[in-house]
Amino acid sequence: MTDQIHHTPLASSRRTHVLDALLRDGAVRISQLTNELGVAPVTLRRDLAQMESEGLLVRVHGGAVPTSDSASVRVPSFALRAPVIESGANEPPTAQGSIAVLVPSLNYYWPGVMRGMESEVEKHGMRVLLRGASYELQDERPVLERLVLSDDVRGLIVAPNTETPHAQDVIQWLAECGTPSVLVERDAVLLPGGTPVESVTTDHALGAKLAARHLASLGHRKVGLMLSRFSPTSRKIAAGWQAACLELGLTPTDHFERILPDRSSPEFSAAVDATLDMALRTGITALLVHSDPEAMAFVDLALTRGISVPDDLSIIAYDDEVAQLFSPALTAVNPPRAAVGEAAVDLLLKRIADPTRPVHRVTLSPSLNVRGSTAPPRTRAASEG
């Protein structure tokens, strides 16, 4: 009887919490809700399924996003307000309409890019229409087609999944749809001529080189690279890492490169443990790990096994989304996310204003923030002491 009395209020409270989080953040994750509400993932999945059947949200892998009819399909919490342009002379906006944005995630890396977009868009009296796809979506054309049907959409900023069979079809569609577009954190060409597509990207290869050079300067010789997925970013990180190994005199036997299983999979912890075993067995003293949560998992499991970070094993995270909040604070490669968003909007508006201008490809450099997770390897420190 007691369970029946308290079940309905608890379910109602969870529903309210989910809707508030969607309005505030533009997306929710089951792992996040589990921590916030203190209920089992199976309960939350059941709640999300019920709310989806009522048209309140759309479930995606690991969580949910607003429905396409919801006001929160626009930029998440940092952009739920309507842009207002203020000046001493009350000048009218320099442009009108919307910029539609399609990115593969609404809860990691991309919110920083979106903040930069919002900042630049507001300067022109425009607004952002945001849609989140997923890395698993094979063909983004239906989503893009719905976006361009909006009456006031004047341009598209897109981060397509370039690892699917439909990737080139999406690029060709963007070129032929009649709406100006810019790729963000993606490179592509148009066939058959191989003409480059307008884009704004981070030089992720340089980011990997910055990490490798930092480790080499500390005296590390045997280092490893861990990638969270084979994405366009991972591919560039790997290329930069390989170039840095050559530049710094590291040979293929001095480093290794692995792709980790998904962090939510049962195989993840075992893969991290196997990597730590290999590091101990082969004398590897430092790792570059993409991305922050994976790097944190490495530190946690290393410390649990009695492996000191950074004395026994230095670790650099790639993304610097939350790396500084960890203990020890993680040395991290920091892509200029907000600047990428600002540059993408600027490039698109210039294309809208002058459709005949040459194709521009803008590349921004990341930086390296050195913190407490990297140090000279113990053997060198001991010999010099």
pLDDT, tens digit, for every residue of 307-357? Answer: 999 999 999 999 999 999 998 999 999 999 999 999 999 999 999 999 999
pTM of the predicted protein model: 0.74
Residues 240, 370, 283, CA angle at the centre, nearest 5°?
Answer: 65
Domain formed by 74-197, architecture = 3-Layer(aba) Sandwich (3.40)
The residues, any chain, with a CB within 8 Å of residue 183's CB and separated by 6 or more, are: 157, 158, 159, 160, 197, 198, 199, 200, 201
- Residue range(s) of every CATH 3.40.50.2300 domain in the chain: 74-197, 204-335+368-384
pLDDT in tens, 177-225: 999 999 999 999 999 999 999 999 999 999 999 999 999 999 999 999 9
- Residue range(s) of every CATH 1.10.10 domain in the chain: 2-64
**Quick one: tokens of 200?**
């704004």
Domain formed by 204-335+368-384, architecture = 3-Layer(aba) Sandwich (3.40)
Inform me whether the pLDDT recorded for 292 exceeds 60. yes
Burial class (CB in 10 A: 0-12, 13-18, 19+), 252: exposed
Of 133, 117, 81, 107, the closest CA to residue 27 belongs to: 107
Q: What is the CATH number of domain 2-64?
A: 1.10.10
Inform me whether the pLDDT recorded for 229 exceeds 90. no
